[in-house]
Amino acid sequence: MSEKIGILVRVRSELGVLHQLTGVIAKHQGNISSVGIIDESGPEVRIYFEIDLPGSSQALLGALQALPVVHQAEAVNTLGRIYGKRIIVVGGGAQVGQVAIGAISEADRHNIRGEHISVDTIPLVGEQPLADAVRAVGRLPRARALVLAGSLMGGEIEKAVREVREQGLLVISLNMAGSVPDVADLVVTDPVQAGVMAVMAVADTAKFNVSRLKKRTF
């Protein structure tokens, strides 16, 4: 049975380093589920891997450490274990702040009971920047729900919402003008409540299930 582990590697910055590292991981039957390159400037970089590994992590660490380009390789807790599921809140500053109040308060309640839920926010204005941000959420690791907090959203943002919902992302919209509420999974008028419901929808310690709701606007 495989175990998900985190490995942080400090390496010399040169051509083909990632190829060498992934080759060693593959030889140890490791399946890379996530990779991030940290501190790209300078002669040394840090590369973080999350790996599903059936064998010994010590054997893999030893093989990585044996590479001439590797300065250090160490096992670390995975980001999923530390930060867990992510709620992303995008939109106007005032509305984003209110959604964050609800989401952070509710996440705290569940995290005390053993959950790991984090809340990320970014205030943005403009149709294209918002559409780009929505699509980018689909590329973020561990993102489970997106809350769109604004007073008017539609057009290209609506298209982006449809795309990320097809990828399995839960989308909650404030009850606003524009076409985005028409394509969201859930529409909530009160921004604080929207944050609370977003956390409840992704928490394993909650009994709230969006698919079982008899209405989608609150």
**Per-domain residue ranges for the chain?**
3-79, 83-212
Give the pLDDT mean for 72-94: 92
Largest CA distance in the chain: 60
The whole-angstrom separation of Cα 210 and Cα 145 is 12
Q: Tell me the pLDDT tens digit for each residue of 8-63.
A: 999 998 889 999 999 999 999 999 999 998 876 778 899 999 999 997 889 999 99
Residue 75 φ then ψ, to 5° = -85, 135
Say which CATH class 83-212 falls into. alpha beta
Q: Tell me the pLDDT tens digit for each residue of 69-81.
A: 999 999 999 988 8
According to the CATH classification, is domain 3-79 in 3.30.70.260?
Answer: yes
